[in-house]
Structure 1
Amino acid sequence: MPKNRDYDLIVIGSGAAGIIAAIVAAREGKSVLILEKLSKIASKLKATGGGRCNLTNTLDNEDFMARFGRDGRFMQDALKEFDYKALICFLDEIGVTTHVPDGFRIFPTSHSSLTIIKALEDEMQKLGIKIFSNERALRLLATGKHIDGVKTQNATFYAPNVIVATGGLGYPVLGAEGDGYNLASELGHKVTDLSPAMMPLKTKEEWVKNCRADTIAKVELRVDIKKHKKLRAKGDLIFTNTGIRGPVVLDFAREVTPLLKKYTEVPLLLNLTKGKNEEQIREHFKTALSQDSTQNILELLQTLLPQSLSIELCKLAQVNPDEKYNKIAGKKRDKLISLLAWTPLTVNGHDGFKMAMITRGGISLKEINPKTMQSKLISGLYFCGEVMNLDGPCGGYNLQWSFASGHLAGKLL
C-alpha cells in the first residue's frame, strides 16, 4: 500500500453518504480515496430495510424537512440540490431502477440492497476511486485551521479535503463505533449527547408478553410527562415479550431514549382504538349491542381489539370478561372505557446501540455550513450523513439525508 500519497479528497467511511460524496467529487475530476475500517464497503447500507433497501420517499422537501423536527431546515440546501427525484435519476444513471409499491416509499425494483451496492461499486471503479479496506482512521491531520490529511493504523494519507462519513453508533457489528465523533472533537467540534434510536423499547408492565400475536394498527403514543406532552406519534404497534416495537415505536424511540437518561422511566399513554375517545367508544358499544345484545364484555371489546389484548385490558380494569356490559358497576365500566381510550404503559429500558438503527445526536450543526457541509472551524473538513446531529423517522428519511448531504459535501464548495 503506497504511503504519503496525495489525493484531492479523502472520504472516511463507505456508507451511502461517503460513497456518493466520493462519486460526485470524482466526476468533477478529483482524485479520491475512501478509507473503510471494515473488510467490505457499505455494510450498513446492505442491511437497510432488512436488505430490501427503502431508499427514500415521495414527500416534497418542506414536508420531508418537517419530519426531522426543529433542525430539519438545516438540510434545505442539500435537498434543493439532491431530493428524491434527483436520487432516482442518479440511480437510473448507474443502472438501478426503482419503484414505489405503496405510493410513498421508494425501493430498488429488485428489493435488494445488493443491487445498489453493486452499481455503486461499478461506478466507483469506472471513476478510478481508490478504496482501502481494513484501514481505520485514527486522527485527522490539520495545520492551523486547515485540514491536511488522515492518519490510519497503517499509514498517513494527505489531502486538502477530508469528508467524515463514519455514521453513528447504531449496529456496532456493522462497524458503527463513533469514530467520527472522536475525530471531529479532537479538532474542536462539539458532539451533542448521543442516544440510540429507531429501536424496540422495553416496558415495566409484563402483560404485554400475552399480546404478541397481533399488530395493532393506527396506535397513537404520547409521553405522559407534563414538560413533554407534545411528544406523540401514530402508527402500527406490536407487543413483544419484553415491551413494544413496530413502526410507530421505531419512530418514537428517538424521542423516548433521551428521556430515559433523565427520568429512568418514561410513562406513555397509548390509544389502541384507532383514535376513538371515551364518548366514541361508548357510542361504538351502544351500536354493537343494539345489533347483538347477547355479547359479553370480551366479545364486545373484540369489536375493537384482538382477543389477547381485550383479555389483558379486562384484567387491568378488574372486569370479568364473561359478564354482560350493562351488568358491571358504573365505576368499573368507566375505568374500562378510560383504559380503552388511553392505556398506560411505562418504558423502562432498551437494548442500547446494538439494536439501534440510527443515533440521536452527533456533531453540532451550528459548526457546519449547511450550504456546503464544510466545517466552520477547519477549512477543507466536511461532514455528511448520520455523524451529524440530525435524524429522522423510518421510511427512507435517513438514507435520503445521507445521499443528499453526501452529494453536497462531495462538491467541495
Structure 2
Amino acid sequence: MKQIVIVGGGAAGLMAAAIAGREGARVILIEKMNMVGKKMGITGKGRCNITNSADMSEFIHNTPGNGKFLYGVYERFSNTDLLNLLHSWGLKTKVERGGRVFPESDSALEVRNTFIKVLKKYGVQVHTNESVQKIVVQNDKVTGVVTDKESYACDAVIIATGGKSYPLTGSTGDGYKLAALLGHTITDIRPSLVPIVIKEQWVKNIMGLSLRNVEVSIISKGKTQSSMFGEMMFTHFGVTGPTILSLSHTVGKLLRKKNTNPITISINLKPALTAEVLDKRLQKDFELYSKKQLINGMKDLLPQNLIPIVIGLAELDSHKPINQITKEERLRLCHVLQHMTLTVEGLRPVEEAIVTSGGISLKEFNPKTMESKLVQGLYGAGEVLDIDAFTGGYNLQAAFSTGYVAAMHIVHGDD
C-alpha cells in the first residue's frame, strides 16, 4: 500500500487526498492552519465558483499563465469529470451567467464539508495546526517528510500549499521554499486577479459605486492591449470588480515591460450604442430637460454620483442651462461617456490578490503526471505551480485537476 503525504489542505490538496484515499493509498494530509479548505470557504464571495461549463479549450484560453501546460491534465480530468464526481459525493450544483458553476446551496462551506466527509470515508488522516519543515530525499527519491511535530516515512509527497495571496488562509509561499530546497526553480511571484490602483483622486468620491454592462479597455502606447465587458467597482484607491481583476493580468505584464507608460484604462459607459446613437439619445434627454441645468439633465443616463464627474471630465459647467449647451460641448460629453479615462498607478499587493501569478517552474514537472523531473516521488498541484487563470471557475478547476492527476499517478503509475 502506497504511503502518501499531501502538504496543504486547499482545493488541490483536498482533491488529491480524496482520490488517493479512494484508490487505496494510505494518506496523511498536513495543513498548517486550524482547518482545511479555508480559502475555498471564502471564494466566490462565499459561494465557491467550483468550475465553468465552458469547453476545455476555453479553459486553456482563459488561463494566461501557462494554460497550455494543462492540456494533458484536462484530458485526464475535465470539468465534466469534476462535476460527475462531486454529484456522486452528494453535492448539487447549478450553472449561472458566464458558465460559472456554483453549489446549488450557494454555500462554499458545503463544498468544503463535502470534501471533509469524503476524507473521513476513505480514512485519510488529516493533521491540522502542523507545518511541514522539509521533504526528505535520498538518492533523488522522496522518502519522508519532517514537520514541526513529527517525521513521516512515505513513498510520495504532493506539494499543494497554494500561492501567496490571502495569507490569512495559510497561503504564505511555504511550498516555494520546500520546492526550492530540493532544487526547483521558483519564477517571479506576482499578484494576478488583483484590484488596480488609479492616479486620479476623484475615484474616492464615488467609492463603492458599481457599474454594470460597461466595456473596460487597457490602453498602452496608443493601442488597446485588452478589453472586457461586464461589471466593475470604484474603491478608495482605484478600481476592482470582475472585469478589472481579469484585466489586471495584462496590466501586470505591461508594468513589467519598459516604455509602456502611461498605462490607462478606458471605460465605455454605453458600449451598446454607437457614437451617433448616443448623441441622439443625449439630444432627446436635453430636449426633455431643456430648462434645467446640465447636472440635472443627465439623471436618466447615469448613476447620480457619476454625473458631476463625467461633466468635469468633459470640461463643462455643471450649472450651465441645457438649452445653452453647444453641439461641440454635447459631443465632448458623448466622447467622455464612451472614453472615460483613468491612469494606472500600479496593482494592489500580492496579499490582496485572489490568485498568485508565478510559482514553481512548470519546466521541471511532467504535464501528464504532475511528477517532478528532478525528484522521484515529488509532485506539485494547484496554485503553488506557475499557473494562473481569469475569474470564472478556471483557477479552481486547475487545482482540482492537477490534484486528481497527481494522486492517480502515484497510486497507479502510468497504466
Is TM (by shorter chain) over 0.5? yes
| 2:95 is the counterpart of 1:100 | yes
5+ long unaligned stretches in structure 1: 1-5
Aligned to 1:3: none
Q: Secondary structure at the match of 2:40?
A: helix
Tell me whether 31-40 or 149-158 shows the greater mean CA deviation.
149-158
Q: Does 1:68 find its partner at 2:63? A: yes
Is contact 1:285-1:300 (8 Å) kept? no
In structure 1, C-alpha distance between the alignment counterparts of 2:150 and 2:10, rounded to whole Å: 22
Q: Distance in 1 between matches of 2:271 and 2:200?
A: 22
- Give the structure 1 partner of residue 72 of structure 2: 77
Structure 2 spans left out of the alignment, 5+ residues: none
Is the Cα contact below 8 Å between 1:217 and 1:274 reproduced in 2? Answer: no
Partner of 2:104: 109
Match of 1:376 among 340, 352, 373: 373
- 1:218 corresponds to: 213
Preserved CA contact (<8 Å) 2:263 2:344: yes
Conserved 8 A contact 1:141-1:149:
yes
Residue equivalent to 1:407:
404
Separation in structure 1 between the aligned mates of residue 154 and residue 108 of structure 2, nearest angstrom: 31
Partner of residue 196, structure 2: 201
Q: 1:201: Cα distance to partner? A: 2.5
Alignment of 1:271-286 (within 5 A): 271-274=268-271, 276=273, 278-286=275-283
What amino acid sits opposite 1:186 in the alignment? L
Give SS of 2:389's match: coil
2:94 touches 2:102 (CA, 8 Å); kept in 1? yes
What are the superposed Cα offsets for residues 184-242 of structure 1, whole Å, 9 maximum, x if unpaired? 12222222211122233221111112223542112222222229742332221111222
Q: How does 1:130-279 map to 2 (within 5 A)?
A: 130-212=125-207, 214-226=209-221, 229-260=224-255, 266-274=263-271, 276=273, 278-279=275-276
Percent identical residues: 35
Q: 119-128 vs 221-230, which deviates more?
A: 221-230
How far apart, CA to CA, are the structure 2 residues paired with 1:141 and 1:227?
A: 53
* Residue correspondence of structure 1 range 278-357 to structure 2 within 5 A: 278-289=275-286, 297-299=294-296, 301-324=298-321, 327-328=324-325, 332-357=329-354
CA deviations over 1:265-323 (Å, ceiling 9, x no partner): 74222222225454443243245456665565445544432222121111122201233
| Deviation, structure 1 residue 387 | 0.8
Out of 12-21 and 247-256, give the one that drifted further.
247-256
Instruction: Tell me what 1:118 maps to.
Output: 113
**Deviations 1:127-159, CA, capped at 9 Å, x for gaps:** 111122222112222224322222222222222
Verify the 8 A CA contact 1:297 1:324 in the aligned structure 2.
Answer: yes
Per-residue deviation, residues 1-43 of structure 1 (Å, max 9, x unmatched): xxxxx96211100111111111211222111111111121111
Tell whether the 8 Å contact from 1:7 to 1:158 is kept in structure 2 after alignment: no
The whole-number CA distance in structure 1 between the counterparts of 2:117 and 2:163 is 26
Measured in 2, the distance between the counterparts of 1:277 and 1:208 equals 26
Contact 1:23–1:124, Cα closer than 8 Å, also in 2 = yes
2: distance between equivalents of 1:309 and 1:41?
43
Question: Match of 1:51?
Answer: 46
What residue in structure 2 maps to residue 31 of structure 1?
26
| 1:37 counterpart letter in structure 2 | K
- TM-score when normalising by structure 1: 0.90
**Could you say which residue in structure 2 is the equivalent of 1:359?**
356
CA 1:103–1:336: 2 relative to 1, 3 Å: closer
- 1:202–1:348: 8 Å Cα contact kept in structure 2? yes
Counterpart amino acid of 1:247?
P
> Cα offset for 1:324?
4.9
Match of 2:395 among 393, 398, 401: 398
Alpha-carbon distance between aligned partners in 1 of 2:73 and 2:400, rounded to the nearest angstrom: 9
Tell me whether 391-400 or 297-306 shows the greater mean CA deviation: 297-306
Q: Tell me which amino acid in the other structure corresponds to 2:324.
A: K
Give distance in 2, aligned partners of 1:228 and 1:167: 35
What amino acid sits opposite 1:271 in the alignment? N
Work out the number of aligned pairs and report it.
408
Question: What letter matches 1:71 in structure 2?
Answer: N
Point out the more displaced range, 43-52 or 63-72. Answer: 63-72
Tell me the secondary structure at the aligned position of residue 39 of structure 2.
helix
Q: Counterpart of 1:32 in 2: which secondary structure?
A: strand
Aligned equivalents of 2:186, 2:222: Cα separation in 1: 25
Once the two structures are overlaid, the 10-residue window that deviates more, 256-265 or 193-202, is: 256-265
